Structure 1
Amino acid sequence: MKEHLFFPERLDVAAFARDAGQLSGELPAGGLTRLADAAAAEAPATAWPTVKWSVTGERREPRGAQAQVWLHLEASAETQMTCQRCLRPVKEHVEFDRWFHFVHDEAAAAAIDAETEEDVLVLSRSFDLFELIEDELLLSLPLVPRHEQCPEPLTLPLDQPLTEAEQGAERPHPFAALAALKKQGPAQ
């Protein structure tokens, strides 16, 4: 039997599952442009470690039903995003480990998706696995990246002590102008 060569950029998912194919590798993080957009300005994705991934195809044949095509996909990455507290780069480890069920058309995908919690996708003879990896890594990113404890104490402009001139000067009341208008009475 002839062994197939499979390429992650244009994967024939049905053939890959039928052959119980396995692929793994590493991707430069900077090459995943949407993931790179999440990078902290001081830590671009081109400086991140590579993204590690692996995929396995499986054909399941349940009794009394059509054969099913499945992919098991895992990936992990070390990212650096902007901490929402101190606005400095924070390292975030993101990973996922998911099974994807492939069906023949959008209608079947919508029907199965409505009934179950499975991740359902449509079969393709030239499926871009790297795009799916990037999608799943993006979904794995924290909504609010932040350090457990920021490396430097947070300083706010309000924390600065007032100068002697500022302490002695009386601040105007914010509603003083309204009070003056009220005393004048209604406009004629």
Structure 2
Amino acid sequence: MSDQLVIDTLDFVRNAGSLRGRVCPCDLERLQDYLTDKAGELVYSIEGLFDHQDRPMLRIAVSGTVNLSCQRCLEQLEHALELESELLLARNEDELCRYDEDVTVDAIMASTALDILTLIEDEIILSLPNSPRHQDIACLTTSKLEIYRAVTDEHPFAALATLKQ
């Protein structure tokens, strides 16, 4: 990663910290395994605040586009990111275990040196689809057209001749 942006999470929340910026997908090394290229720009914001139960949390938002590979036709697929998440900050292991028992809550351990770009990268990777695909019409039309062209380019009985052998 090019620049490391590190915060003390609990101090960031106490001071109602806020960070905004832009990052290129090429600066997020682990994300490269999911992308077809390094194009694009991602806009992020992170806010430190207390939730309605007075628990420290980080609110993260990321928007932009990344290029994935369609799992159906293997062509490039532009994927729009509009990610918003809230992470509670656990002060100790017991608190983190309690948060983990609640499936409606996302939590991480509070840190005196949390790398913001690593956190953003984690959230992006978690938000990506397991099997990215074009919409049915766009993807299947291309595939069917290629199959039709391949079949009609050959003599119609060529396939039968190979079966006889």
Relative distance call for 1:169 and 1:24 in structure 2 (3 A) is: closer
Report which of the two structures shows the higher radius of gyration computed on alpha carbons: 1
In 1, are the aligned partners of 2:99 and 2:106 still within 8 Å (CA)? no
State how far apart, in whole Å, the 1-side matches of 2:16 and 2:114 are: 16
Partner amino acid, structure 1, of 2:29:
T
Residue 71 of structure 1 corresponds to 58
Q: Which 5+ residue runs of structure 1 have no aligned equivalent?
A: 1-6, 173-188
Query: Out of 143, 147, 153, which is 2:142 matched to?
Result: 153
* Counterpart among 69, 85, 97 of residue 98 in structure 1: 85
Q: Which letter maps to 1:153? A: T
How high is the sequence identity, in percent, across the aligned residues? 26
> What residue is the counterpart of 2:49 in the other structure?
58
Distance 1:92 1:60 in 2: 31
- The yes-or-no answer on 1:16 pairing with 2:16 is no
Report the TM-score when normalising by structure 2. Answer: 0.81
- After superposition, the C-alpha distances for 1:73-93 in whole angstroms (9 at most, x for unaligned) are 111231111112221111011
TM-score in terms of structure 1 length: 0.72
* Greater alpha carbon shift after TM alignment, 88-97 vs 143-152: 143-152
Alpha-carbon offset, residue 121 of structure 1:
0.9
In structure 2, C-alpha distance between the alignment counterparts of 1:34 and 1:80, rounded to whole Å:
15
Tell me the matched-pair count: 157
1:75 and 1:96 in contact (8 A); partners too: yes
Question: The residue matched to 1:56 in structure 2 has which SS?
Answer: strand
From the two aligned structures, give the one with the greater helix fraction. Answer: 2
Backbone CA RMSD of aligned residues: 2.7
Which residue of structure 2 lines up, in the alignment, with residue 167 of structure 1? 160
Partner AA of 1:30 in structure 2: C
Q: Which runs of 4 or more aligned residues in structure 1 lie more than 6 Å from their structure 2 counterparts after TM superposition? A: none
Does the 8 A contact of 1:82 with 1:89 survive in 2?
Answer: yes
Distance 1:118 1:151, change over 3 A: same
Q: Which runs of 5+ in 2 are unaligned?
A: none
Q: Structure 1 residue 60: deviation in Å?
A: 5.0
Other-structure match for 2:73:
86
